Protein backbone atom coordinates (compact mmCIF):
# COMPACT_ATOMS: atom_id res chain seq x y z
CA UNK A 1 0.00 0.00 0.00
CA UNK A 2 1.36 3.40 -0.94
CA UNK A 3 1.52 6.27 1.50
CA UNK A 4 -0.67 9.23 0.72
CA UNK A 5 1.33 12.10 -0.67
CA UNK A 6 0.91 15.67 -1.75
CA UNK A 7 3.15 16.12 -4.74
CA UNK A 8 6.55 14.89 -3.62
CA UNK A 9 5.84 15.38 0.12
CA UNK A 10 4.08 12.64 2.08
CA UNK A 11 1.30 13.51 4.53
CA UNK A 12 3.33 12.37 7.54
CA UNK A 13 5.97 14.99 6.74
CA UNK A 14 3.25 17.63 6.42
CA UNK A 15 1.78 16.65 9.79
CA UNK A 16 5.20 16.68 11.48
CA UNK A 17 5.90 20.13 10.03
CA UNK A 18 2.52 21.39 11.27
CA UNK A 19 3.08 19.93 14.78
CA UNK A 20 6.51 21.54 14.98
CA UNK A 21 5.29 24.91 13.71
CA UNK A 22 2.37 24.99 16.16
CA UNK A 23 4.67 24.04 19.04
CA UNK A 24 7.25 26.69 18.11
CA UNK A 25 4.57 29.39 17.84
CA UNK A 26 2.99 28.35 21.13
CA UNK A 27 6.28 28.48 23.01
CA UNK A 28 7.07 31.92 21.56
CA UNK A 29 3.64 33.20 22.62
CA UNK A 30 4.04 31.81 26.16
CA UNK A 31 7.52 33.33 26.49
CA UNK A 32 6.22 36.69 25.27
CA UNK A 33 3.25 36.45 27.62
CA UNK A 34 5.73 35.94 30.47
CA UNK A 35 7.65 38.97 29.13
CA UNK A 36 10.90 37.06 28.97
CA UNK A 37 13.67 39.30 27.60
CA UNK A 38 15.05 36.79 25.09
CA UNK A 39 11.81 34.98 24.26
CA UNK A 40 13.33 33.47 21.11
CA UNK A 41 15.12 30.84 23.23
CA UNK A 42 11.77 29.17 24.01
CA UNK A 43 10.88 28.31 20.38
CA UNK A 44 14.50 27.41 19.61
CA UNK A 45 14.38 24.91 22.47
CA UNK A 46 11.01 23.63 21.28
CA UNK A 47 12.45 23.03 17.82
CA UNK A 48 15.35 21.10 19.34
CA UNK A 49 13.16 19.01 21.65
CA UNK A 50 10.35 18.14 19.23
CA UNK A 51 10.65 14.45 18.48
CA UNK A 52 8.32 11.95 16.89
CA UNK A 53 7.47 10.21 20.15
CA UNK A 54 6.90 11.37 23.71
CA UNK A 55 9.58 8.98 24.99
CA UNK A 56 12.26 10.44 22.72
CA UNK A 57 11.19 13.98 23.62
CA UNK A 58 11.34 13.17 27.34
CA UNK A 59 14.93 11.95 27.05
CA UNK A 60 16.22 15.03 25.23
CA UNK A 61 14.12 17.31 27.44
CA UNK A 62 15.59 15.94 30.65
CA UNK A 63 19.11 16.39 29.30
CA UNK A 64 18.41 19.91 28.06
CA UNK A 65 16.70 20.94 31.32
CA UNK A 66 19.49 19.63 33.56
CA UNK A 67 22.25 20.87 31.27
CA UNK A 68 20.72 24.34 31.10
CA UNK A 69 20.40 24.44 34.89
CA UNK A 70 24.05 23.42 35.31
CA UNK A 71 25.28 25.88 32.68
CA UNK A 72 23.16 28.72 34.05
CA UNK A 73 24.30 28.14 37.64
CA UNK A 74 27.95 27.87 36.61
CA UNK A 75 27.71 30.93 34.37
CA UNK A 76 26.09 33.02 37.10
CA UNK A 77 28.75 32.01 39.63
CA UNK A 78 31.68 32.54 37.29
CA UNK A 79 30.42 35.91 36.00
CA UNK A 80 29.70 37.13 39.52
CA UNK A 81 33.10 36.32 41.00
CA UNK A 82 35.63 36.22 38.15
CA UNK A 83 36.65 38.69 35.44
CA UNK A 84 35.37 38.13 31.91
CA UNK A 85 38.18 36.83 29.72
CA UNK A 86 39.09 33.94 27.47
CA UNK A 87 40.93 31.95 30.15
CA UNK A 88 38.04 32.19 32.63
CA UNK A 89 35.62 31.10 29.91
CA UNK A 90 37.82 28.16 28.90
CA UNK A 91 38.30 27.09 32.51
CA UNK A 92 34.54 27.25 33.13
CA UNK A 93 33.82 25.09 30.07
CA UNK A 94 36.48 22.62 31.24
CA UNK A 95 35.00 22.44 34.77
CA UNK A 96 31.48 21.90 33.42
CA UNK A 97 32.80 19.09 31.21
CA UNK A 98 34.54 17.43 34.16
CA UNK A 99 31.41 17.73 36.33
CA UNK A 100 29.29 16.12 33.61
CA UNK A 101 31.84 13.33 33.10
CA UNK A 102 32.15 12.72 36.86
CA UNK A 103 28.36 12.50 37.23
CA UNK A 104 28.19 10.36 34.06
CA UNK A 105 25.59 12.70 32.63
CA UNK A 106 25.28 13.53 28.95
CA UNK A 107 24.61 17.21 29.63
CA UNK A 108 27.87 18.77 28.52
CA UNK A 109 26.65 20.16 25.21
CA UNK A 110 23.60 21.84 26.78
CA UNK A 111 25.48 23.07 29.84
CA UNK A 112 28.34 24.51 27.79
CA UNK A 113 25.98 26.27 25.37
CA UNK A 114 24.16 28.00 28.23
CA UNK A 115 27.47 28.82 29.90
CA UNK A 116 28.73 30.43 26.67
CA UNK A 117 25.55 32.48 26.26
CA UNK A 118 25.86 33.83 29.79
CA UNK A 119 29.61 34.51 29.70
CA UNK A 120 30.20 35.62 26.11
CA UNK A 121 27.19 37.74 25.17
CA UNK A 122 27.15 41.32 26.37
CA UNK A 123 24.10 41.84 28.59
CA UNK A 124 22.65 44.87 30.33
CA UNK A 125 21.50 42.85 33.35
CA UNK A 126 23.39 40.90 35.98
CA UNK A 127 24.70 37.43 35.16
CA UNK A 128 22.31 35.96 37.75
CA UNK A 129 19.32 37.58 36.01
CA UNK A 130 20.50 36.39 32.59
CA UNK A 131 21.04 32.86 33.94
CA UNK A 132 17.56 32.80 35.45
CA UNK A 133 15.96 34.15 32.25
CA UNK A 134 17.81 31.62 30.12
CA UNK A 135 16.70 28.78 32.38
CA UNK A 136 13.05 29.92 32.30
CA UNK A 137 13.10 30.51 28.53
CA UNK A 138 14.48 27.03 27.88
CA UNK A 139 12.05 25.50 30.39
CA UNK A 140 9.09 27.10 28.58
CA UNK A 141 10.31 25.60 25.31
CA UNK A 142 10.66 22.17 26.90
CA UNK A 143 7.23 22.24 28.55
CA UNK A 144 5.47 23.36 25.37
CA UNK A 145 7.27 20.74 23.25
CA UNK A 146 6.37 17.96 25.68
CA UNK A 147 2.78 19.13 26.02
CA UNK A 148 2.28 19.27 22.26
CA UNK A 149 4.00 15.92 21.75
CA UNK A 150 1.66 14.37 24.34
CA UNK A 151 -1.50 16.10 23.07
CA UNK A 152 -0.74 15.73 19.37
CA UNK A 153 1.33 12.56 18.97
CA UNK A 154 2.77 11.80 15.59
CA UNK A 155 0.68 9.22 13.78
CA UNK A 156 2.65 6.36 12.34
CA UNK A 157 1.16 4.66 9.37
CA UNK A 158 1.71 0.99 8.88
CA UNK A 159 2.73 -0.01 5.44
CA UNK A 160 1.15 -3.24 4.32
CA UNK A 161 3.14 -5.59 2.19
CA UNK A 162 1.82 -6.14 -1.27
CA UNK A 163 2.40 -9.30 -3.25
Average pLDDT value for the chain: 87
CB 44 within 8 A of CB 141: yes
Instruction: Specify the pLDDT at position 159.
Output: 43
Number of alpha carbons in the 13 Å side-chain half-sphere of residue 26: 19
Confidence of residue 6 (pLDDT cuts 50, 70, 90): low
pLDDT tens profile 78-126: 999 999 899 999 999 999 999 999 988 889 999 999 999 999 988 788 8
Q: Which of 129, 140, 125 is nearest to 30 (CA)?
A: 140
C-alpha dihedral sign at 128, 134, 136, 139: negative
Share of the chain above pLDDT 90, in %: 62
pLDDT tens profile 30-50: 999 999 999 999 999 999 888
Share of the chain above pLDDT 70, in %: 88
Instruction: Specify the pLDDT at position 160.
Output: 42
The pTM is what?
Answer: 0.80
Amino acid sequence: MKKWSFGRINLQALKQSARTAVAAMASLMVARLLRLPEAYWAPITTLIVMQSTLGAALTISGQRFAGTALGAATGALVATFLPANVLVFGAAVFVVGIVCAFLRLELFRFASITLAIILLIQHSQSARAIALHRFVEVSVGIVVALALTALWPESHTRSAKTD
